[in-house]
Structure 1
Amino acid sequence: MITQLYPAWLWVRNRSVRIISSSYAGDLATAHAVKSRDCLKSDKFKKCFPDHIEFKDDTDGKTHYKNTEKGERFVTSVGGRVTGMHGDFIIIDDPINPEEAASEAELKKASRFVGRTLSTRKTNKKRSVTIMVMQRLHESDPAGEWLAKKKLRHICLPGELSSNVKPVELKEKYIDGLMDINRLDHTALSKLKIDLGSYGYAGQIQQTPAPEGGGIWQKWFIPINDAVFPEPEQMRDYGTDWDTAYTDKQKNDASAYCTSGKIGPRIFIDKLGFGRMEFPALIRYMKLRPAPHYVEAKASGKSVAQVFNDNGIPAIEVQVVGGDKVARTKMATPPVEAGLVCIRRSLLDTLYNDSEQGLLFFPNGKHDDLNDAVVQAIQRHSQPQKEWW
């Protein structure tokens, strides 16, 4: 509708319209443009619109064609050439391949192309229109970047009826809870849930980067009202686990912490938070949190704990076990799922739903610093000490 038929409709309305269209792959973007051209040249179109559109003989290719009334369609792909071209309408269809959405480099490449390259290709910044059609694949995908920064018209059509439908009046159009009862009926969706997995289904069908209720993490943490939460002196192994970074740049990683202790078999999360700051500010920030401080041994080999100890912070360097971030997180979930991890109720919303650090978005969230600090705390309380330092 948007990438193939809409450009044809634009030329019916105004034949001088200039269009730039793009996708994650050049052959896909070209296929869309060719189908638009086939529509415009078809006998059926000419029958509906007798005053049909004439194409210029010298510019009538698959990736670049013009009509005789100054209208133009130019095709590119993420990272492709677009310099020198300008559009009244810029149409972006799937700027990132779902198979590459787990790659931070590919996410940044797609977001840069959409946000920095195509945005400069408008014929008139006041009136040129940009339309992007895509599945939600990650909190930091191009759609996520747009939603975080821009005032826009957001249309969201999940395959199954949910609170995510936008505009909300479109909920009335769903039949039997389905957006498309013919192509995406209950049987087809059930198969897709198996084929895509929980995260793939959430992004490609339900248009949210993480499954409703969480993926690797779910709402397993036991909330305890602040007024009756245990005091630190009631707990053993009480301290603060850190995932540290030394920059205050907003897009970079934050320093995150999780203060916790243990009573019997249960772990109690007393405090948590995160912030972006340079090293001197980080030292001051850490000194305000309960000691001792548990800091992951960094791969560089430099003793982070020694640096903090030299600055008056009682720190213990720990070796995190379990492989990559996802594997370590999966190792930390069993005690939480078993109801053995409690948290102050006032911290629960931040833990689950913070737009940058919420655990329910992991591993597709913008940042995973808080996740790493919580995982380290849970593993520290759950694993024998000899595995930690």
Structure 2
Amino acid sequence: MGIDEVKKELARRELARRDFLHYLRYVFPAFQDVAYQGSPDHKVHHRITEALMRVARGECKRLMIFCPPRMGKSTDVTQYFPSWMLGNNPNLNFIISSYSADLANDFGRKTKRICESQLFKNVFPNFEFAKDKREGGNWETAQGGGYYSVGVGGSITGKGSNILLIDDPVKDREQANSATIQAKVIDRYDSVALTRLQDQNSAIIVIMTRWNINDLGGYLEREEKNGGDIREKVVIQAIDDNGNEIIRPGKRDKGYFTAQKNKMLKENRYALYQQDPINATNGIFKRGIFQYFKLSDFERADGILKKSDLTCGIMIDPAFSSSKNSDDATVGLYGKHKITKNLYQLDLYADTSAPSATISATISMVNKAKAMGYKVSFIHCESAKINREQTKFIQDLKKELIYQDIQIPFYTTEAKGKKEDRIKQECEPPMTAGGFFMRGDGNTEVQLKQEQQFLDFPNGKHDDIIDNVAQAYMYFRKIEKRAGESTDRYSGVVNVNRDSELY
């Protein structure tokens, strides 16, 4: 090698030490950046490496990278970036978490092999492993830094990190759509991961493919809006907003994503490849179909809407957990117009409250309806055959109705079929036809929650409020057929077992 070649080689090594993108090109000879069609300067890995450089300089402490699958994001972020950082500062500690311990350990082994390579040693000749701690996916440097890998749910007790890196916390759509897995990942982040940061200068990098509006990325975005940590976000779309698609020669050639676009399921096209799960979920209920009214509309002098034209009922769906991630207990007061058959939601309660609070909300709703001049014809509560909590709730509610001397027929029925089918079949036709009216002057927080559940359906995290609406439609049909149903002598409370066959 001549003097000029030696100088060029030393310059390349120095650039690789100083800059992560140059390091990728030097240590990973097969590295291939990808760009958008018609935009050669709009390169995917440039955007990712520039953001990682800001983390390295301490300018960014919270980074989220959303990227379609098979774009090399894990290679960049989870393998080569830790090796480069540890080469420059072997005192650093990394914790890498993924959906499985096997995958996280594989990341660790691959990163270790990078650090063992001759190309890495060319850039960082003084790097050393700890002699007794370099097995598998967890290893340390001679200076006390290291790479610790763990699956979601694995133990990281006693471990601290200067950089916490979360790479795809869920495996696939099935996990991403599971409320149980969503809650587990979020709880793990809040209660475990955040406690492992070494100090106030530690960084968190989340790199993932978006699947669902309630995945970890969606949760962190909502937390930011509510006053949480501000995060830098890098969003990589398979086809950008101008219609240009990513070209990855030999793997995703020109026209690949465009050809696949119409073949993909909508949820895959928007969430998986566009990183826009909100767009993916807005399929059935559009904001444009929402209809609103005010209670004062029933007080107008022209008498177009009259309270006497409504058949009113209260629908109750109790819940038995006060966790912030659990479903709400819901109580709704509805009025069905006898002529137009439109359904008016006159009052709505939704909260993760104790059963006693749901009973109190029901009694309060009855009293409010009476004070406003609405005659409540029935109270209905969803029941379950084998559920002691629900049975006790119904018994306690009946006792309270009797104690309050509320002379309104009380019915219980067991909901049949899948909740998703019930909501779609019962709510979509009348709402599309403009036959369902929500309060425009009611509880704003609860109203917004209801609207969001409609917009997110069928992939939203919660659907308890809109299921209350669906059950109202179902029960009004049933109650109209039972207008002459007799009740027992206890304050109009209908026998629970006798009514269990209504659906």
Same fold (TM over 0.5): yes
Q: Which residue of 184, 187, 201 maps to 1:127?
A: 201
- Whole-angstrom CA distance in 1 between matches of 2:212 and 2:151: 20
> Could you tell me which residue of structure 2 aligns to residue 369 of structure 1?
464
- Whole-angstrom CA distance in 2 between matches of 1:209 and 1:270: 32
Q: Which amino acid letter does the alignment assign opposite residue 344 of structure 2?
A: F
Q: Give 1:373 shift.
A: 0.9
> Could you tell me which residue of structure 2 aligns to residue 317 of structure 1?
411
> Could you tell me which residue of structure 2 aligns to residue 65 of structure 1?
139
Q: Which amino acid letter does the alignment assign opposite residue 273 of structure 2?
A: I
> Could you tell me which residue of structure 2 aligns to residue 326 of structure 1?
420
Contact kept in structure 2, 1:362 and 1:371, CA below 8 Å: no
* Rg (Cα) greater in structure: 2
Q: Deviations over 1:95-115 (max 9, x none)?
A: 122222233332333233332
The question of 1:153 aligning with 2:227 is answered no
Q: Give 1:271 shift.
A: 3.0
Q: How does 1:151-190 map to 2 (within 5 A)?
A: 151-155=229-233, 157=235, 159=237, 174=240, 176-177=242-243, 180=246, 182=248, 183=252, 188=257
Q: Give 1:11 shift.
A: 1.8
Flag the 1:204–1:178 CA change in 2: closer, same or farther, 3 A: same
The share of aligned pairs that are identical, in percent, is 24
Flag the 1:216–1:194 CA change in 2: closer, same or farther, 3 A: farther
Q: Deviations over 1:139-174 (max 9, x none)?
A: 55333443444313141516278xxxxxxxxxxxx5
- Whole-angstrom CA distance in 2 between matches of 1:76 and 1:277: 36
> Could you tell me which residue of structure 2 aligns to residue 164 of structure 1?
none
> Could you tell me which residue of structure 1 aligns to residue 344 of structure 2?
268
TM-score (norm: length of structure 1): 0.79
> Could you tell me which residue of structure 1 aligns to residue 360 of structure 2?
284
> Could you tell me which residue of structure 2 aligns to residue 27 of structure 1?
102
> Could you tell me which residue of structure 2 aligns to residue 171 of structure 1?
none
- Whole-angstrom CA distance in 1 between matches of 2:255 and 2:313: 49
> Could you tell me which residue of structure 1 aligns to residue 380 of structure 2?
294
Q: Deviations over 1:85-132 (max 9, x none)?
A: 32211111111222222333323332333322333333x232222222
Unpaired runs of 5+ residues, structure 1, are 162-173
Q: Give 1:20 shift.
A: 1.1
> Could you tell me which residue of structure 2 aligns to residue 54 of structure 1?
128
Q: Which amino acid letter does the alignment assign opposite residue 311 of structure 1?
A: E
Flag the 1:205–1:355 CA change in 2: closer, same or farther, 3 A: farther
TM-score (norm: length of structure 2): 0.63
Q: Give 1:21 shift.
A: 0.6
Flag the 1:331–1:131 CA change in 2: closer, same or farther, 3 A: same
Flag the 1:184–1:258 CA change in 2: closer, same or farther, 3 A: farther
Q: Which residue of 426, 431, 447 maps to 1:336?
A: 431
Unpaired runs of 5+ residues, structure 2, are 1-75, 299-303, 370-375, 483-500
Q: Secondary structure at the match of 1:60?
A: coil
- Whole-angstrom CA distance in 2 between matches of 1:385 and 1:6: 68
Q: Secondary structure at the match of 2:279?
A: coil
Q: Give 1:356 shift.
A: 10
Q: Deviations over 1:16-54 (max 9, x none)?
A: 11111110012221232333333333344444x163633
Alignment RMSD, CA only? 3.6
Q: How does 1:72-111 map to 2 (within 5 A)?
A: 72-98=146-172, 99-111=174-186
Number of aligned residues: 374
